[in-house]
Amino acid sequence: MSALSDQSTAKHALVTGGGSGIGAAIASTLAIAGLRVTIIGRRLDALQAVAARHPGHVQAVEADVTDAAAIATAFAEAKVRFGPIQVLVNNAGQAHSAPFIKTDAALWQHMLSVNLTGTFNCTQAALPDMLAAQWGRIINVASTAGLKGYAYVAAYCAAKHGVVGLTRALALEYAKKGITVNAVCPGYTETDILRESIANVVAKTGRSEAQARSEFSAGNPQGRMVQPEEVADAVLWLSGHAAASVTGQSIAVSGGEVMN
């Protein structure tokens, strides 16, 4: 039995956006590896459905990552049952598309607020536990859109580039404190966010769903969508002791679409 599967020493991981897609896969992978996992999101029913698959190992707490006060309350609630937070996975995000000229201030703010400020809020809430323990793992789910540009998602791209910048800055700031800060950068991954993007292309261009899908997967040299479990495995590795020397990195999980 690994140390992580012992409830007395099991680490507490908090995963935002854990009620669906990549976040749900991360929560399951970490729980199966023996961590205690809190998942956070706005839809309690979705979170509870994921938690029910891992009784005693995953708990659901409702909160909006854009609301710093709500996040502080949610993190305090999460710690009552599972103790101090050792692993933070900033995964909650949204991707809305629009031509730049039609990107109004509200869409711009919304993308920055959910993807970048949400990461800021949760990282500030988790850091005191990590500093007290002189050990921590922060893993930001950015995107290949944090490493390269894509047309029609300028606000999302800017926010995810911001997440990569934040990752690099914090990695240096906490390098001597036992805390690593990394990003994983998925390419197009088979989740609701992608299904919505495909539906958007179908609605706006009249293309068939199959055409739209093949256009999304064409950018991946492997010619397919990334699976959520593939991103989750990268997060599991970064959250462990073996990755102690890996910090400030933005690891693309994209079938070779981005090479850095």
Closer residue to ligand NAP, CB minimum distance, 43 or 81 = 43
Contact 156/95 with Cβ under 8 angstroms?
yes
Closer residue to ligand NAP, CB minimum distance, 33 or 46 = 46
Closer residue to ligand NAP, CB minimum distance, 39 or 127 = 39
Q: Which of 34, 42, 148, 243 binds ligand NAP (CB under 6 A)?
A: 42
- Residues with a catalytic annotation lie at 156
| Burial class for 151, CB neighbours closer than 10 Å (0-12, 13-18, 19+) | exposed
Q: E strands, the chain, where?
A: 12-16, 36-41, 58-62, 87-90, 136-141, 179-186, 250-253
User: DSSP label at 84?
Assistant: S
Our finding on whether 43 is near ligand NAP (CB under 6 A) is yes
Sheet holding 87-90, edge to edge: 58-62, 36-41, 12-16, 87-90, 136-141, 179-186, 250-253
Region of 48-56, 64-72, 77-85, 198-206 interacting with ligand NAP (CB under 6 A): 64-72
Residue corresponding to tokens 């012992």: 6
Our finding on whether 111 is near ligand NAP (CB under 6 A) is no
Closer residue to ligand NAP, CB minimum distance, 42 or 148 = 42
Our finding on whether 255 is near ligand NAP (CB under 6 A) is no
Q: Which of 11, 12, 15, 17 binds ligand NAP (CB under 6 A)?
A: 17
| Burial class for 122, CB neighbours closer than 10 Å (0-12, 13-18, 19+) | buried
Our finding on whether 224 is near ligand NAP (CB under 6 A) is no
Paired with 251 in beta bridges are: 184
Region of 17-25, 48-56, 72-80, 239-247 interacting with ligand NAP (CB under 6 A): 17-25
Residues at the interface with ligand NAP (CB under 6 A):
16-17, 19-23, 41-43, 46, 64-66, 91-95, 114, 118, 141, 143, 186, 188-189, 191-194
